[in-house]
Structure 1
């Protein structure tokens, strides 16, 4: 690329490719641009702008649309209350004054910029643009970023700035795939990128399109695109796909897919997007260096969190919390744990061309497992050796489809995400999803339990849905008094997928007259909606009144997740709309207390269906609030208000006499009923509600809204104290390590009294 090659040339190509429909013509235009305007030694400078999402030489800009809008407003010297500034801030929102570009930030920005920039190009070269973008990525604060954007604005016109903004957002919308760009650049470009994830290296090595490149193997220190698993609908489809092969089935973990590259004491942690997650260094590198018995190797696996107090893996989403604790030197029962399920490189040799069965044997020799910190996932050993009696295997050889179905059933009952089936004779192929690995998850088989929720707000969409509400904030009812409608609705999750364009339009037609713009922070939410006002929850519009709204039946991934974004204590992973319930009145949506009981009774899932061991459909039906059923004197009482029947419990000791227990939560594998009966067997009583009569609050985990309430009440004790007292049939002194929360005086009283 000549130093004189202008950005305007690249922008002209972008405009032409975007408007052209035929892929062959797009490819030809790209080839002509490379041949006519770029020198071979400088290909990288242009291609990193064509494929900005693959460029790892330049760091993150730290600029999403909301922050970029603020920086542009300041760079242009506009008042933040001006119409154009509000247009940028509210780029998703439609209306009579917003034009056709609502929902497309780059086009909205171009509209604003056209009124302030000339039509003539400022003469910025591609090299100058890359230099400025490098500075933008390395800028440490918003003021620096704003200053660089101001320089860009002064050296470009509105059309050029539109494409620069798309480069910054890494979304060019050219209508041409990464695969096509690679192939047109060089026939071997994609293969080389897959094993190096290094766009600069690809451009430098493959500058001569006529010279074929010998397929390069993987190297320690260079991220490799991961092998991927193909989705299948059920066990029979999976078995048919792998018919005649030796098959291993594995639990599908719910953590971060990470490649570990070890080179002596230097350890890198590459994600599936080939980013190096250095935050794992403090918590994991010593473990890897000491327990991986090879100086140089690459492992493929999952980064999880192990909860030593519960003797199990923690729920999805805990990694960053533990990373922060490890960096700050805090001791915790929860620690990072890496589960290696494959090995790609050993000492000085790539082993991806060996069979999976052979690679499993190498894993056994190279990795020295350390319980709760470093594990291997192989059949007949590894993580299987640490499972408790009665727990399902983590990995095994499947001999028939019945074995696959049984393993899947046990895995789901154990609250895991799903299973992966692998051909033991297969090689490891970067970026391959041809069917050597298959994944089977509950939502690919049958929908989760139907949850009837009420639309309480809406979010403007982007792209083709720009300017219109395309997603909904939905809520659960606050449990109503007898013979009354619910008066308040609690934000629960955000959902936008599942409806056809026609179905979405029908919902919007019904609700649009009742949309009320949410002008945060000038106005507060309607009083009948309980919300957090978290930025990720905050809708663009509210439904003015619950009676005007409609119910949606939604389904989700197998797991619920604890929520801080929404007001309900739990939310859903990947929710989607199953159908619109025009036939149901607004007040018959699911209430929050019933949903919490649904979560607890189904062990943290929302899955139904007898065939795969999940929650039964009639449970989901029972917990739905129904006015019709109340009229028939058959209203449902949530299960957590039903007193445990201990009439048949035989007393064994009186160690808990004069004590009343309240269980905040119970450990996995135990039921609330079993804990109540344990207390009753030893002379104690229990309460279903937290009140002044409760003497002992007991919990397995220090989280959730019930735990927060218990903290206000007083001390919270770990359940193992209750268990140990019952096992030894005597009241044991309460040790400080078993107090999950205490008032300061507990440190004095624990030393004097037993509870």
Structure 2
């Protein structure tokens, strides 16, 4: 076909179905190649199809603002179905199992098909790829649910249920085809992945590489276009890291716990790109003047870490406070916390360090450079380890790692009972003679993190609720809401439990099945907004709210959990603090329900102090500035 308007979306759906069912990677790639050869004859054809095949990489279209919870109600309204009907409730509660939910519980698109099949014909409505893209553009630009519902209604009229299934998956940006982005790029053009890595522009890739037989000269990075960042390969210990970099000149650096941001300066034009190549204009008010005044190069790209600097405590603030401070700066509000950027292609890392010295004027708490000789190191208080240094042997790497994780912890209870700690989450080792390569994770950079360090004593928590899973765990409880006991009178059992965190990983399938089987007789449906069981203190945040409660603490089971080293002040859960990335260490069938940790007792304080250098159970609140960790420069 020569005209894209004649290519029906049903053709693409047939391709999706065939690829999803095939088990052979080579056959999947071959089928995709045949589709391109037969149905894509122009640049517009290529882009129209590939943006649907790789929806998560399409930045021409804005975000839809539709996750499963909102999408379900919009689909129900688009079909004109009562939200109280059995079909509607099945879609709204798509994760939940039970006699009436069917075999597809946990798979949103398949549950949606059940609803759509009863109301759509089997024949295709003839929607073309071009028409679909136009409607998806409208869906993304719609400003409210009413407008989105109208667009979905048009889509339903032009498709059948099978086609709508794939449209739903495109909207959710997860086609589950079992074929990698790398394979799709390679079949389209041998140079497609490289070009996308340095431009993050799917449309440009389709425009420049429409002839698969014509090789494309490797393109340099361009100021103003997001670049996929260089990545660090994770290693388990310092010895492994040193072996991988054997014979290299190595620098070790703190791994800051902030947001990876590229700052693009092109004269007076400044962009702030995330690692997902989205521009973040909310940083402009807090950082643009700093960049203009302190970056001497007219055109450059800085690749680093955006953090928050607490000027009152002279330290970096908690993870997750960037957006709050950016908003305060935008609204002109005073704060002793400010955005701070810490900074690190054709030249080696050692040469880029020297360029940073020449073109960046560091400003304490606002713009910092991370280099082994000077930069942020010059501000280290006496007795504290440097943020960056040259390492000459594995022993020096191990000492730096230990000092970074342990010695930077400041564990000091304030009058309010809060604690503080630094913003480190491990270390990064880099080959000083390596060049900066977009999306490279070949081992030129290595990261070492103490994420799951075992505490000296157990953190035993009580299961108080459960969440239904998705995919193969659909229809069954797969995660748990856990709580800590509220203080009780001596020689009495606790009668109230405070929500602490949500946890689901760490158990094998068999262990999880056994636990759920024991608890299932005591699951009680959460009928929010009806009253929460009196045993439990919760926030009723949508992120906390479980699908089922344990009917009574006496019927529940204790879990021993562990966590990574970073913790957060909790707004989602009723406890004043929570864990980041908790996981189950073991199920404590040997412990009675009332022996879980008491949030107010001495044992909990002992657990915190014993693990303060590792699990950082911090009650801190402070915020500040953003920093760039690895300056990436282009010539003027």
Q: TM-score, normalised by structure 2?
A: 0.92
Aligned partners of 1:231 and 1:438 also within 8 Å: yes
1:392 aligns with 2:385: yes
1:446 and 1:120 map into 2 onto residues whose CA distance is 58
Q: Are residues 446 and 191 of structure 1, via their aligned partners in 2, closer, same or farther at CA, if it must alter by over 3 Å?
A: farther
- Using a 3 Å threshold, how does the CA distance of structure 1 residues 195 and 444 change in structure 2: closer, same or farther? farther
The aligned residue for residue 18 of structure 2 is 16
**Structure 2 partner of 1:364:** 357
Choose 37-46 or 107-116, whichever is displaced more. Answer: 37-46
Q: Residue 472 of structure 1 aligns with which residue?
A: 480
CA distance in structure 1 between the partners assigned to 2:113 and 2:362 by the alignment: 56
Does 1:503 pair with 2:511? yes
Could you say which residue in structure 2 is the equivalent of 1:205?
208
Shift of 1:126: 0.3
Cα distance, 1:447 vs structure 2: 6.5
Who is 1:39 aligned against? 41
Range that drifts further, 156-165 or 390-399: 390-399
Q: Cα gap change, 1:448/1:89 in structure 2, threshold over 3 Å: closer, same or farther?
A: farther
* Counterpart selection for 1:317 from 315, 320, 342: 320
The CA deviation string for residues 471-512 of structure 1, in whole angstroms up to 9 with x for no partner, is 100111112221111111110000111111101100011000
In structure 1, the residue matched to 2:346 is 353
Aligned-partner SS, 1:511: helix
Task: Name the SS of the counterpart of 1:108 in structure 2.
Answer: helix
SS at match of 1:592: coil
Structure 2: distance between partners of 1:449 and 1:113: 52
- Is 1:419 aligned to residue 421 of structure 2? no
What is the CA–CA distance in structure 2 between the aligned matches of 1:306 and 1:337, rounded to whole Å? 6
Aligned match of 2:555 = 548
Q: 1:435 aligns with which of 436, 440, 443?
A: 443
Q: Distance in 2 between matches of 1:517 and 1:230?
A: 43
The question of whether the paired residues in 1 share the 8 Å contact of 2:452 and 2:563 is answered with no
Pair 1:561 & 2:563 matched: no
Instruction: For residue 389 of structure 1, report the CA deviation from its aligned partner.
Output: 2.1
Larger radius of gyration: 1
Partner of 2:112: 109
Q: Which residue of 2 aligns with 1:336?
A: 339
The 8 Å contact of residues 559 and 585 in structure 2, kept in 1 or not, is answered as yes
CA distance in 2, matches of 1:208, 1:457: 56
Partner deviation per Cα, 1:321-345 (whole Å, 9 max, x = no partner): 101100110011000000012xxxx
Give the corresponding residue for 1:733. Answer: none
SS at match of 2:110: helix
| Contact 2:456–2:610 (8 Å) recurs in 1 | no
Structure 1 residue 419: Cα displacement: 0.7
The whole-number CA distance in structure 2 between the counterparts of 1:427 and 1:466 is 45
What's the C-alpha RMSD, in Å, of the aligned pairs?
A: 1.8
Q: Is the Cα–Cα contact under 8 Å of residues 464 and 483 in structure 2 kept in the other structure?
A: yes
- 1:488 corresponds in structure 2 to 496
Select the residue among 524, 532, 537 that pairs with 2:539.
Answer: 532
Match in the other structure for 1:232:
235
1:29 counterpart = 2:31 = yes
**CA gap 1:225/1:168 in 2 versus in 1, 3 angstroms:** same
Residues 1:508 and 1:461: Cα distance change in structure 2 (over 3 Å): same
Q: What are the equivalent positions in structure 2 for 1:695-734 lying under 5 Å apart?
A: none
Look up the match of 1:729.
Answer: none
Asked if the contact 1:40/1:208 (under 8 Å) is kept, the reply is no
2:222 pairs with 1:219: yes
Question: 1:250 touches 1:395 (CA, 8 Å); kept in 2?
Answer: yes
Once residues 17 and 40 of structure 1 are traced to their aligned partners in structure 2, the CA distance between those partners, rounded to angstroms, is 23
Name the SS of the counterpart of 2:403 in structure 1: helix
Structure 1 residues 48 and 30, CA, compared in 2 at 3 Å: closer, same or farther? same
- What residue ranges of structure 2 are gaps of 5+ in the alignment? 410-423, 624-636
Query: Separation in 2 of the partners of 1:45 and 1:449?
Result: 57
TM-score, length of structure 1 as denominator length: 0.78
Cα distance in structure 2, aligned partners of 1:17 and 1:192: 25
Secondary structure in 2 matching 1:428: coil
Q: Name the residue aligned to 2:188.
A: 185
Aligned to 1:246: 249
**Of the candidates 74, 79, 82, which is equivalent to residue 82 of structure 2?**
79
